Amino acid sequence: MFLSKTVSRLRSLRRKPEGIGILLLFFGGLGVVNGADPVLERYEFVRPHMGTLFQVVLFAEEPKAARAAADEAFARVEALNACLSDYDPESELMRLCRQPAGTLVPVSVSLFAVLTQSQAVADLTDGAFDVTVGPLVRLWREARRSGRFPRADQLESCRAATGHDKLRLENGSRVVTLKSPGMQLDLGGIAKGHAADEALSLLAARGFSRAMVAASGDLALGDPPPGTTGWKVEIVPFGRKSPARRTLLASHVGISTSGDVEQYVEIDGVRYSHIVDPRTGIGLTAPLAVTVVARRAILSDSWSTACSVLGDEEARRAIERVSEEPLFVIVHRRDGEATVPFGRPPPGLHFPL
Ligand code: ADP
Ligand code: MG
């Protein structure tokens, strides 16, 4: 019963712009647990945030408390959007980007935390993940609108304003400096994961630990549904018609999938993704999508984007270098051909089914 309801709900969501297209979620447990435990019901809430749909699922004893907690979780996402959005010209991020190059700008705890994590992944991936990629992302957004390949001089000037070495963070004082003119930060590859983590933490703090938050291709999973060992997650990275799919059973992890199922432009028969390789300035063309399972969604989100840029082999090498952080990677091929997952599973990943 849960299964078909969830599928139809997600189908209807997919028609919305940048809707949930990458993950279909099936929930294993029914709401009855043994003996003296209270009977928990499953509640689901969906709201548009951060240019996509955020979905909160939680198990609770009664609807009023469930709704109040979900409302608070969505409010937290909205507050983070006001900080991290590259669409809202008044976001803290955009105000930072308007400062003249070289200005020392004190920023909020949230913005600093996301930038710090971004730079850590940039360092570990030799800049494959790079939040200074904003000028190039905008150029490719324009290409998606016009259907034309960006001009060489435009590509060159956008590349000149890109590079994680041009972003300086001062740890003690939470001060950020954009060192070169024309820089534009873009947190599209990490902000949704962080927001999902934060929303999930808020639910747990309100007593709803059996919960999960999904934001398009990014998921933050808490305690499993009652009577189950984990959330059952089906990953369909190229849409339901494609043979490429995987099912995972997990709790207490972040799971993210990066791919081009929704945002891409086709020019002269080549499909360019909205993920840009900062080293070339070109949208990715490999027929791949990457799922990463990590301890938190901020990690899975940034690493799935990074691994998409790196491709199978380079991603393998980068993941091997990150010995202290468990990261489990599944590369999906558009043709559905199986690949061998790699990396180290975090404790909450029970098994790929
Ligand atoms: P989605 O937004 O579809 O979930 P991702 O998490 O992979 O997918 O994020 C893609 C977004 O990240 C792009 O839309 C853009 O805003 C940003 N981005 C593109 N290329 C890079 C890159 N090389 N490094 C960091 N962020 C990127
Ligand atoms: Mg990402």
At 201-227, the pLDDT tens digits run 999 999 999 999 999 899 999 999 999
Residue 12: its pLDDT value, please?
A: 32
**How many CB atoms sit inside 10 A of residue 250's CB?**
26
* Residue minimizing CA distance to atom 6 of ligand 1: 189
Residue 28: its pLDDT value, please?
A: 46
31-67 pLDDT per residue, tens: 344 445 679 999 999 999 999 999 999 999 999 999 9
Residue 319: its pLDDT value, please?
A: 95
Say yes or no: CB of residue 333 within 6 Å of ligand 1: no
Asked if the model's pLDDT at residue 91 lies above 70, the reply is yes
Asked if the model's pLDDT at residue 84 lies above 80, the reply is yes
pTM above 0.85, yes or no: yes
119-130 pLDDT per residue, tens: 999 999 999 999
Name the band, by pLDDT with cuts 50, 70 and 90, for residue 22.
low
Q: Of all atoms in ligand 1, which is nearest to the CA of residue 86?
A: 16
Residue 107: its pLDDT value, please?
A: 98
Among 245-249, 259-263, 268-272, which stretch is predicted with the lowest mean pLDDT? 259-263
- Using an 8 Å Cβ cutoff, are 291 and 256 in contact? yes
The CA-based dihedral angle spanning residues 317, 194, 184, 121, taken in that order and rounded to the nearest 10 degrees: -20
Q: Which one, of 79, 83, 315, 304, lies nearest residue 189 by Cα? A: 304
Q: Which of 275, 279, 307, 309 to mutate to test the pocket of ligand 1 (most atoms within 8 A of CB)?
A: 275
Higher pLDDT, 26 or 78: 78
- Using an 8 Å Cβ cutoff, are 86 and 187 in contact? yes
Name the band, by pLDDT with cuts 50, 70 and 90, for residue 241.
confident
| Tokens (6 digits) for 264 | 């891409």
Distance from Cα 15 to the centre of ligand 1, integer Å: 21
- Using an 8 Å Cβ cutoff, are 353 and 248 in contact? yes
Say yes or no: CB of residue 274 within 6 Å of ligand 1: yes
Say yes or no: CB of residue 272 within 6 Å of ligand 1: no
Q: Taking every pair of C-alpha atoms in the chain, what is the biggest distance, in angstroms? A: 70
Distance from Cα 276 to the centre of ligand 1, integer Å: 7
| Tokens (6 digits) for 5 | 């309801």
Residue 152: its pLDDT value, please?
A: 97
Residue 104: its pLDDT value, please?
A: 98
Name the band, by pLDDT with cuts 50, 70 and 90, for residue 243.
confident
* Residue minimizing CA distance to atom 9 of ligand 1: 189
Distance from Cα 133 to the centre of ligand 1, integer Å: 9
* Residue minimizing CA distance to atom 27 of ligand 1: 189
Distance from Cα 125 to the centre of ligand 2, integer Å: 14
Distance from Cα 162 to the centre of ligand 1, integer Å: 14
Distance from Cα 140 to the centre of ligand 1, integer Å: 12
Distance from Cα 262 to the centre of ligand 1, integer Å: 12
160-208 pLDDT per residue, tens: 999 999 999 998 899 999 999 999 999 999 999 999 999 999 999 999 9
* Residue minimizing CA distance to atom 22 of ligand 1: 129
Asked if the model's pLDDT at residue 266 lies above 70, the reply is yes
- Using an 8 Å Cβ cutoff, are 217 and 25 in contact? no
Q: What percent of the chain stands above pLDDT 90?
A: 79
Strands of the sheet with 175-178, listed across from one edge = 105-106, 175-178, 167-170
Average pLDDT over residues 333-341: 87
Say yes or no: CB of residue 186 within 6 Å of ligand 1: yes
Q: Of all atoms in ligand 1, which is nearest to the CA of residue 263?
A: 3
Q: Of all atoms in ligand 1, which is nearest to the CA of residue 257?
A: 4
Residue 9: its pLDDT value, please?
A: 36
HSE value, Cβ hemisphere, 13 Å, CA-based, for 241: 1
Say yes or no: CB of residue 121 within 6 Å of ligand 1: no
Among 14-23, 135-144, 218-227, 256-265, which stretch is predicted with the lowest mean pLDDT? 14-23
Residue 263: its pLDDT value, please?
A: 79
Alpha helices in the chain (DSSP H): 2-14, 63-84, 92-98, 109-124, 134-146, 152-160, 191-205, 297-321
Q: Of all atoms in ligand 1, which is nearest to the CA of residue 258?
A: 7
Asked if the model's pLDDT at residue 89 lies above 50, the reply is yes
Q: Taking all residues of the chain, what is their mean pLDDT, rounded to a whole number? A: 89
Distance from Cα 71 to the centre of ligand 1, integer Å: 27
Note the ligand closest to the C-alpha atom of 280: 1
Residue 337: its pLDDT value, please?
A: 85
Asked if the model's pLDDT at residue 11 lies above 80, the reply is no
Q: In this structure, which residues have their CB less than 5 angstroms from ion ligand 2?
A: 189, 301, 304-305
Name the band, by pLDDT with cuts 50, 70 and 90, for residue 4.
very low
